[in-house]
Amino acid sequence: MSADTSRVHRSIFKKTTRDNMAREHRFMSAERVEGYTDAVYAIVITILIVPIAGDVADYDMDKTLFENLYDELSVFLIYILAFIFIYSIWEDHVWIFSAIEHVADTVSLANIVLLLPITFLPYSVTLLSEFIEDAFAIFMLTSCVIVASCLEILITCVAFSRPKMLKEEVRGHEARIYLRGMMVLKSSVKIVLAGFATGLAFASPYASWAFLILLVFHDAIAAVCIGIYNYYKGFSVGLYRHRHCGKYLWHHLFEMKLDKDRVAVFSDGVFSIVATLIILDLSTDAVPSVDAETSKSLRETLAENQHMFLSYLASFVTVGLLWINHQAVVHHVSVVTRLMSALNKASLLFLGLLPFCFKLVAEYAGDSTDRNENYVVQINSACMFFASICQLLLYAAACRHSDKHFHDSHKGLSKIHVICKLLIIPIISLIGFCVCFMPNTVDADVISICTTCVILLYAILKLVMEIVHNVKPDCGTADEGDEDVDMNATEINGIENKSAGTVEEKSCDNDVSELSIDSGTKL
């Protein structure tokens, strides 16, 4: 009898083991899904500028530059709103997947279908910019939003219904149901606003634009709703609430955290695509056609387009230097808050305009009529300035709580080095902008050469910091390139003692929503 019982137990154990192994094979790591999704969002958000840059060739040269830009004012406003909206729905995706560790086939397929309406958004936005009053153009845009939001809800419900897909700190936490409700609420806000915009589009297209603008800021609306709910209803998990509702609102609007790695990967994708988009116009406009009747050589023909080559060189270097600044900030930051993400969004917005600025320089360089050449240089300098100043503000936002937002090794010379790098491009672009106010003294080619030479300032700054660090090795810490920081025996012992000790209980004021956005924090 005991032998039969033992045999039955072994068969049950083998069957359970096989079932568990089969179940585990149905799951894949969420990192590949996140990387693929981030790449798609980066491409979608960047190619929004392609139709706008392409329209520069159709500008009426008999008009001044600002008259042509004024005619395209609605197109630029729609571009800005579309850029902010796509970045916001990407943040929603980051928030949902911050709780997911393993992805099942159902979620993977739903995510692929989710990206279909997302990739259709650039076409819908371009169509809407041409037919602002057309109800069907509004319907095509809002339908993409509704479908994508419904799929977000599907992914959330499937993931939270299968605990093995969730991260360990989310899986065993009693606020899991509350967290799922917050994620569904954010997607539901988009569905409601898009539904109202669709319904009003056929009655009054201008009234539907009010809901389209609200749709752009759906994340802030959802954050306010969650904050108010937390204050007046409290948590179902038994946590005490803050004394003031404003603390909840401030936390949900500015202090909630995003996955730092995904922010870095997404930003890198935008930088790389912008750097390569610039070559498209050069490949199409600066390649001469074969003409047997022409008496010019290929070298002479290319020399006539030297301003395009110089502008391409300056634009590429500018994008590269802005990426270096972004990498220097993100490398030392330990967390990314919503406020920091908003400043990163603004920086990428102005960065995305650089292909358009390159096209303006290519069309108006050498045109001194009505000071058009001065104006295109000023527009290019303004985009450089705002893209770089937003990075500086991002770093300043991280400095508000240095002990929470920075790694321990970032202090002394390391901070000075980062601040100096962040100040170079704003100062140079501001100088170029002011110089253009002097008429008949600006040459776009000279400005492009000077912009390219800014890279030498970065090299000089690096050399100076190395000299100072060698002269006074104790006044600073390792630079951002030194990832392997030597730790003395006292620090190692301190870490061991800290890890071996008991974990302090969290205060009652901690928000349960941190569970969804700081995946590395154990509750």
My answer on whether 98 and 176 are in the same domain is yes
Tokens coding 151: 């799929």
Q: What DSSP assignment string belongs to 368-428?
A: -GGGHHHHHHHHHHHHHHHHHHHHHHHHHHHHTTHHHHB-TT--THHHHHHHHHHHHHHHH
Q: Kindly list the distances between the CA atom of residue 405 and the CA atoms of 9, 421, 492, 508, in Å, as whole numbers in the listed order.
A: 53, 19, 22, 22
Which amino acid, one-letter code, is at 248? Y
Average pLDDT over residues 378-407: 87
Average pLDDT over residues 379-390: 94
User: Is 140 part of any domain?
Assistant: yes
- Biggest distance spanned by C-alpha atoms of the chain: 104
My answer on whether 130 and 59 are in the same domain is yes
My answer on whether 194 and 274 are in the same domain is no
- Sign of the Cα pseudo-torsion (357, 360, 362, 366, in order): negative
Average pLDDT over residues 336-343: 89
Q: Which of 161, 183, 216 is the last residue of a domain?
A: 216
Average pLDDT over residues 18-24: 43
Give phi and psi for 95, each to the nearest 5. Answer: -65, -40
CA-to-CA distance for 116 and 370, rounded, in angstroms?
Answer: 45
Contact by Cβ (8 Å): 81, 197? no
CA-to-CA distance for 254 and 511, rounded, in angstroms?
Answer: 13
Would you state the pLDDT for residue 242? 45
My answer on whether 49 and 192 are in the same domain is yes
User: Is 132 part of any domain?
Assistant: yes
Is a pLDDT exceeding 60 seen at residue 177? yes
My answer on whether 203 and 61 are in the same domain is yes
Q: In the chain, what is the straight-line distance between the N-terminal and C-terminal CA atoms, in Å? A: 48
Q: 393 versus 289: which is more confidently predicted?
A: 393
Contact by Cβ (8 Å): 412, 104? no
Query: Count of domains in the chain?
Result: 2
My answer on whether 212 and 266 are in the same domain is no
Is a pLDDT exceeding 90 seen at residue 154? yes
Structure-token match 């159709």, residue found: 58
Is a pLDDT exceeding 80 seen at residue 245? no
Would you state the pLDDT for residue 490? 40
CA–CA–CA angle 386, 258, 151 (5° rounding) = 105
My answer on whether 206 and 325 are in the same domain is no
My answer on whether 267 and 181 are in the same domain is no
Banded model confidence at residue 485, pLDDT cuts 50, 70, 90: very low
Give phi and psi for 369, each to the nearest 5. Answer: -65, 125
User: Is 454 part of any domain?
Assistant: yes
Number of helices followed by number of strands (H, E) in the chain: 24, 4
User: Is 363 part of any domain?
Assistant: yes
Would you state the pLDDT for residue 493? 43
CA-to-CA distance for 322 and 425, rounded, in angstroms?
Answer: 8
What percent of the chain clears pLDDT 90, i.e. is strictly above it? 31
My answer on whether 168 and 266 are in the same domain is no
Q: 496 versus 441: which is more confidently predicted?
A: 441
**Most confidently modeled of 26-35, 47-56, 246-255, 290-299?**
47-56
Contact by Cβ (8 Å): 422, 395? yes
Banded model confidence at residue 439, pLDDT cuts 50, 70, 90: low
What is the extent of the structural domain holding 183?
Answer: 26-216
- Where b means 16+ CB within 10 Å and e means fewer, 32-68 reads ebbeebbbbbbebbbbbbbbbbeebeebeeeeebeeb
Contact by Cβ (8 Å): 159, 100? yes
Q: 489 versus 411: which is more confidently predicted?
A: 411
Banded model confidence at residue 269, pLDDT cuts 50, 70, 90: very high
Is a pLDDT exceeding 60 seen at residue 338? yes
Which of 261-265, 458-462, 493-497 has the weakest average pLDDT?
493-497
User: Is 100 part of any domain?
Assistant: yes
Q: Kindly list the distances between the CA atom of residue 483 and the CA atoms of 206, 410, 471, in Å, as whole numbers in the listed order.
A: 54, 11, 21
Q: 113 versus 408: which is more confidently predicted?
A: 113
User: Is 523 part of any domain?
Assistant: no
User: Is 17 part of any domain?
Assistant: no
User: Is 313 part of any domain?
Assistant: yes
Would you state the pLDDT for residue 300? 74
Is a pLDDT exceeding 70 seen at residue 21? no
Mean pLDDT computed over every residue of the chain? 78
Q: Which of 216, 248, 269 is the last residue of a domain?
A: 216
Contact by Cβ (8 Å): 258, 128? no
Would you state the pLDDT for residue 292? 45
Residues in CB range of 137: below 8 A, 6 or more apart: 124, 127, 128, 130, 131
Average pLDDT over residues 123-142: 90
pTM to 2 decimals?
A: 0.81
Is a pLDDT exceeding 90 seen at residue 331? no
Would you state the pLDDT for residue 478? 44
Structure-token match 């770093």, residue found: 395
Would you state the pLDDT for residue 171? 77
Banded model confidence at residue 244, pLDDT cuts 50, 70, 90: low
Q: Kindly list the distances between the CA atom of residue 60 and the CA atoms of 51, 57, 67, 75, 136, in Å, as whole numbers in the listed order.
A: 17, 9, 9, 17, 30
Q: What is the pLDDT of residues 463-481, one digit of tens each?
A: 998 888 788 655 444 444 4
Residues in CB range of 336: below 8 A, 6 or more apart: 257, 258, 259, 260, 263, 330, 344
My answer on whether 210 and 318 are in the same domain is no
Average pLDDT over residues 474-491: 43
Exposed / middle / buried, residue 403 (Cβ in 10 Å: 0-12, 13-18, 19+) = exposed
Which of 97-101, 420-424, 439-443, 472-476 has the weakest average pLDDT?
472-476
Residues in CB range of 111: below 8 A, 6 or more apart: 33, 37, 103, 151, 155
My answer on whether 212 and 274 are in the same domain is no
My answer on whether 160 and 99 are in the same domain is yes
Is residue 257 classed as helix, strand or coil in its secondary structure?
strand
Q: Which of 201, 216, 231 is the last residue of a domain?
A: 216
Length of the chain: 523
Contact by Cβ (8 Å): 143, 84? no
Is a pLDDT exceeding 70 seen at residue 97? yes
Average pLDDT over residues 236-248: 49
Would you state the pLDDT for residue 20? 45
Residue 104 bridge partners (DSSP): 27
CA-to-CA distance for 61 and 69, rounded, in angstroms?
Answer: 12
Banded model confidence at residue 302, pLDDT cuts 50, 70, 90: confident
